[in-house]
């Protein structure tokens, strides 16, 4: 069995020098900015310190700064993990915003100071020095690794795995032989928890399996 090597990451923010004051300007920006910017404003939502009302930066700005709550809810319903590429995700977001503007062509602009700023970010990955050789070690490591490690392996892992399972689920299935446990993690809704809430849930799920295994010895 190959051990699980825990890594963690840090996020470096970069401005694109582009902003939007209206929903139409937001739409044009979404159509034209880099894939890295779309990734930052959608998948990187999970790096927020807490669960917000809306599930991506576009929805958050539309709902909070423009008070266009219907559009914000529609944008929040776009699950980035339903798509296998950034262009496909971009296309769906454009479709949602464009449809809204057909029905409501002149929503109000943002007030000064509340503009939307398009950003990009780079993820820098580095080792933690923590390695798990079995399920018990995996559980102990999960309790104490930095929150950015949980983010990298559970959230971003679904992307760097070419839009597949997260790193935890993949290791549990392919290396630890814990297919049932892997499936339980795969069915967790990532939008329901912040990083620490997700850590607690994963720890609880793995802990139950470890305790059950000990009882059968």
Q: Tell me the per-residue pLDDT of 116-159, one tens digit each, with 9 for 90 and over.
A: 999 998 889 999 999 999 999 999 999 999 999 999 999 888 87
Distance CA 142, CA 181 (A): 15
Dihedral sign computed on CA atoms, order 125, 129, 135, 141: negative
Domain containing residue 70: 12-120
Q: How far apart are CA 20 and CA 109, in angstroms?
A: 9
**What integer pLDDT is reported at residue 52 of this predicted model?**
67
Instruction: Indicate if 102 and 129 belong to the same structural domain.
Output: no
Q: Which of 85, 120, 155 is the last residue of a domain?
A: 120
88 in the same domain as 55: yes
Identify the band that residue 161 occupies on the pLDDT scale cut at 50, 70 and 90.
Answer: low
pTM of the model: 0.83
Flag whether pLDDT at 50 surpasses 60.
no
| Burial letters 37-76, b for 16+ CB under 10 A, else e | bbbbbbbbbbbeeeebebbbbbbbbbbbbbebeebbebbb
Q: pLDDT tens for residues 168-185?
A: 999 999 999 999 999 999
- How many alpha carbons fall within 13 Å on the CB side of residue 17? 0
Same domain for 81 and 49 = yes
Query: Are 192 and 133 within one domain?
Result: yes
- Answer yes or no: do 196 and 158 share one domain: yes
Cα–Cα distances (Å) from 23 to 58, 114, 127, in that order, read 10, 13, 41
pLDDT of 100 above 90? yes
Please give the pLDDT value at position 160. Answer: 66
If asked whether residues 56 and 107 sit together in one domain, one would say yes
- Look at residue 123 in the predicted model and tell me its pLDDT: 85
How far is it, in rounded angstroms, from Cα 179 to Cα 187?
A: 13
Q: Are 177 and 158 members of one domain?
A: yes
Q: 47 and 109, same structural domain? A: yes
**Residue 163 pLDDT > 80, yes or no?**
no
Given a contact cutoff of 8 angstroms between Cβ atoms, the answer to whether 77 and 69 are in contact is: no
Same domain as 112, residue 16: yes
Q: How confident is the model at residue 81 (pLDDT cuts 50, 70, 90)?
A: confident
The pLDDT value given to residue 44: 82
The verdict on 82 and 174 lying in the same domain is no
Same-domain status, 149 and 132: yes
- Tokens 């790193």: give the residue: 167
The pLDDT mean for the chain works out to 90
- Same domain for 65 and 147, yes or no, is no
Domain final position from 120, 141, 156: 120
Q: Rounded to an integer, what distance in angstroms lies between the CA atom of residue 129 and that of residue 8? A: 10
Task: Check residue 193 and give its pLDDT.
Answer: 83
**What's the rounded mean pLDDT across residues 16-27?**
96
CA 194 to chain centre: 10
Q: Which of 67, 100, 120 is the last residue of a domain?
A: 120
Tokens 């795969």 correspond to what residue? Answer: 186
Q: How deeply is 149 buried, as exposed, middle or buried, from its count of CB atoms within 10 A (0-12, 13-18, 19+)?
A: buried
pLDDT, mean of residues 86-101: 96
């Amino acid at each position: 069995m190959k051990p699980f090597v825990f890594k963690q990451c840090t996020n470096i923010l970069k401005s694109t020098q582009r902003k939007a004051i209206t929903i139409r300007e937001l739409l044009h920006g979404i159509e034209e900015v880099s894939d890295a910017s779309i990734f930052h404003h959608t998948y990187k939502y999970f790096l927020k310190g807490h669960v917000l009302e809306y599930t991506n930066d576009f929805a958050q700005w539309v709902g909070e700064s423009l008070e266009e709550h219907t559009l914000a809810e529609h944008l929040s319903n776009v699950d980035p993990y339903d798509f296998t590429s950034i262009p496909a995700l971009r296309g769906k977001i454009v479709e949602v915003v464009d449809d809204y503007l057909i029905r409501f062509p002149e929503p109000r602009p943002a007030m000064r100071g509340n503009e939307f700023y398009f950003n990009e970010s780079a993820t820098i990955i580095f080792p933690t020095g923590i390695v798990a050789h079995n399920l018990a070690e995996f559980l102990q490591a999960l309790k104490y690794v930095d929150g950015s490690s949980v983010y990298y392996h559970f959230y971003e892992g679904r992307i760097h795995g070419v839009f597949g399972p997260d790193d935890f689920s993949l290791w549990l299935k392919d290396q630890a032989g814990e297919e049932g446990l892997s499936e339980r993690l795969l069915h967790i809704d990532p939008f329901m928890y912040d990083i620490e809430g997700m850590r607690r849930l994963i720890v609880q799920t793995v802990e139950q399996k470890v305790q059950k295994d000990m009882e059968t010895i």
